[in-house]
Amino acid sequence: MSQQDNAHSQRDGLYVCLFSLHGLIRGDNLELGRDADTGGQTKYVVELARAIAAQPGVGQVDLFTRRIADSQVSGDYATPIEEIDQRTRIIRIEAGPAEYIPKESLWDYLDTFTDNAIEFLKQQPALPDILHSHYADAGYVGSRLSSLLDIPLLFTGHSLGRVKRRRLLASGIEPADVEARYNMSRRIEAEELTLSNAAYVITSTSQEIREQYELYDFYQPDRMRVIPPGTDLSRFHPPEGNEWQSDIAAGIGRFLREPEKPIILALSRADVRKNIAALVSAYGEDTELQSIANLLVVAGNREDIKGLDAGAQKVIRELLVLIDKYDLYGRIAYPKHHAADDVPIIYRLTTLSGGVFVNPALTEPFGLTLIEAAASGLPIVATEDGGPRDIVENCRNGVLVNPLEPVDIAQGLKTVLSDWETWQQRSVNGLQGVREHYAWSAHAKHYLTLMKQVIGESAEPPVVRPPVVRRPMLYHDRAIFSDLDKNLLGNPESLPELISIIHENRKCASFGIATGRRVDSALKVMKKYAIPEPDILITSNGTDIYYAPELTQDTGWTRHIEKQWTPRVISRVLDGLPGLKRQPTAEQSRFKISYYIDPEKAPCLDEINQLLHQEEQTVNVLHSFGQFLDVVPVRASKGLALRYVAARWDIPLDHILVAGGSGADEDMMRGNTLAVVVGNRHHEELSGLAETDRIYYADQPGAAGILEAIEHYDFFRSCNVPREGS
């Protein structure tokens, strides 16, 4: 008789063990937000344990975490066994020092945790039917237990090391510090181990599977399942009728001339990725929409805009500029403060008004606010990116829009607001959809169905795990960078083949785009031509750097280039020169001043630089395609941004293939990079590169020319770039 059969013979109902090792975990009064380890995961695992235990056929759920005896925290965390309810317990295992320590310091004690957990399990009436690990540290423990006890393992990553590393680098932390402070190599190796052992990996969205787990050697999409997190329906629910008497209602109403009109609600952080500016532009440019509804933008809390971080300052200032541009005073509310308990009330106020919730984010991996809105009886308009697709499909309570097209956003809002009968049906559909797909009971039911399939207690055939072979590849030890307009799009017919080849080699090669366009403009073009989000997006001629999968902006680069940048002086020097004309506002950015230039009338570049030097302005002046002139900080350019990324991602320059076509691309193509000038872009601005080594002049135009260069350099062969003479 196997251990699993023996377990079945000694217990009444399934025995499920969850593992979440770090942070402070107890049954009630969770200390959410105390530090980086006491976030949403701690709440999630406790609620998941309760929800699974409440399902028919479950006998016992134990949540394993580390025991902590520390005078700096509550004595609750030292209790070895905490009874949450009749069928749910928290089991605290000794491992490492008694005091509370961050998760990055736990790695040396995980084997001790494993050994002690085995001793505890051996004392129980039966072994577990299934294990479920949360995060990399618990993944390591779960993998060891699964192998030693022959018990199936489920895994939820919550966040992944390879993605986290990019975000840390984007924040300005040096690569060596990332490794020293976060033990990133051990974390990633633990994730690989867990992915190789898990019967199934549970994610929140299908996009998470495609864009994050695909970065791993043991990526096996057939063993990954989407089960969206549960939502607290006791907190988010339809209106009760007294919401208008709340303080937050009064705070919102003071902005509005006609507060009784339907509300268009946007609620998010003040983050450029949330695309608040596009929403306000959509509203400001559509007088019909303004006549139908008021706009309410809740974008965090602020005392003084100057006290916000640079990204939030930019968002709020752009919001205020747009309000003034479109003269939206009296039609838009933008409160400075709201409490956490105000959020459900704000949703319900919008529902009472007959309004709509809108999420126009550029990228949205999940979309929790959409579920909260639906649970409040509120129809939704959402970006067609990522998680919202799943939510709208499940809830049938709204429409998807292109977040890069203000006209499309406005039309989506009018579609929802203009038909009262359909509005009511969407409201009902949303309430039903949330209960069916996003309530904790539904969440646990989906889990239980999967668990039964894994252990063979389902009508479905049991899981048969094929052999897993790890491919010995280095991660992103090379990269391809290309300009957008005149290279990738120079021959659209060959673009799908290039995209396919890049995707096939994603594990060893990063894909980057370097463009003079602003990020919103670049994303719009990429969407039009179905170009996937690159790993690295360099915009505005090297002044902004963004990383996949969530367009995380590299704030370290921003701090690096902002020194000695005085755009007002530059504008004063150049605005009145003959042959120079300012480009539209949409082409300007914080670190880029853009002009159209008429070479027949304008001073030459040497004269322009001399005029700027006379005003003590040291900048980069970039001339491209004979008609554009961009002025950026002296520390910024496409080439400098590329080298910054290469250094931080530890990619040798001679492992980077660059496709350029104008003067703005020249410094990307000089030096040790491998370069290609595609067939349609033998532009005279690059004539100075004619004698430069490592530049290949392709016969084919556009993407076909890049493909030609990939073959010429043998760029992907065994993931080894050929050396001269080889």
The pLDDT, as a whole number, for residue 286 is 97
Over 40-100, what HEC string results? HHHHHHHHHHHHHHCCCCEEEEEEEEECCCCCCCCHHHHCCEEEEECCEEEEEECCCCCCC
DSSP 434: I
The pLDDT, as a whole number, for residue 458 is 55
The pLDDT, as a whole number, for residue 456 is 82
| Local mean pLDDT, 10-residue blocks, the chain (726 residues) | 42 90 93 80 91 94 97 95 96 96 95 96 95 97 95 93 84 85 92 93 87 85 88 90 91 96 94 90 97 95 85 89 96 93 95 97 84 96 88 95 93 96 97 92 91 76 53 66 87 90 85 91 88 92 89 88 91 94 86 93 92 90 86 92 91 91 80 84 55 77 91 77 46
Q: What tokens appear for 320 in the block?
A: 């205020």
Do residues 61 and 47 lie in contact, with contact meaning Cβ atoms separated by under 8 Å? no
Could you give the CA distance from residue 529 to residue 330 in angstroms, rounded to a whole number?
39
Residue type, 686: L
Give 634's strand partners.
none
Contacts of 594 (CB under 8 A, 6+ apart): 516, 582, 583, 587, 588, 628, 629, 630, 631
**Comma-separated ranges of CATH 3.40.50.1000 domains in the chain:** 472-562+636-726
The pLDDT, as a whole number, for residue 590 is 87
The pLDDT, as a whole number, for residue 723 is 52
Superfamily of domain 472-562+636-726: HAD superfamily/HAD-like (3.40.50.1000)
Q: Is 3-226 a CATH 3.40.50.2000 domain?
A: yes
Alpha helix positions (H), 216-275: 247-253
Burial level of 625, CB count in 10 A (0-12/13-18/19+)? Answer: middle
**Comma-separated ranges of CATH 3.90.1070.10 domains in the chain:** 564-634
**Apex 547 CA angle, 391 and 531, nearest 5:** 70
Q: State pLDDT tens for residues 60-93.
A: 999 999 999 999 999 999 999 999 999 999 999 9
- Helix and strand counts by DSSP (H, E) for the chain: 26, 26
Q: Tell me the pairing of strands 628-633 and 619-624.
A: antiparallel
Give CATH for domain 243-438.
3.40.50.2000
Scanning the structure block, which residue is given the tokens 């310091």? 105
Could you give the CA distance from residue 396 to residue 410 in angstroms, rounded to a whole number?
19
Helix or strand (DSSP H, E) at 420 = helix 420-433
pTM across the whole model: 0.74
Q: How far apart are the first and last CA of the chain?
A: 60
The sign of the dihedral angle between the CA atoms of 252, 235, 439, 36 is positive
Nearest CA to 23 out of 136, 84, 101 is that of 101
Contacts of 171 (CB under 8 A, 6+ apart): 554, 555, 556
Could you give the CA distance from residue 273 to residue 265 in angstroms, rounded to a whole number?
17
The sign of the dihedral angle between the CA atoms of 713, 719, 725, 726 is negative
3-state helix, strand, coil in the chain (%, to 5): 45, 15, 40
Do residues 630 and 663 lie in contact, with contact meaning Cβ atoms separated by under 8 Å? no
The pLDDT, as a whole number, for residue 7 is 41
Fold classified for 564-634: Hypothetical Protein Ta0175; Chain: A, domain 2 (3.90.1070)
The pLDDT, as a whole number, for residue 472 is 45
Helix or strand (DSSP H, E) at 513 = strand 509-514
Do residues 656 and 693 lie in contact, with contact meaning Cβ atoms separated by under 8 Å? no
Could you give the CA distance from residue 175 to residue 179 in angstroms, rounded to a whole number?
6
**Comma-separated ranges of CATH 3.40.50.2000 domains in the chain:** 3-226, 243-438
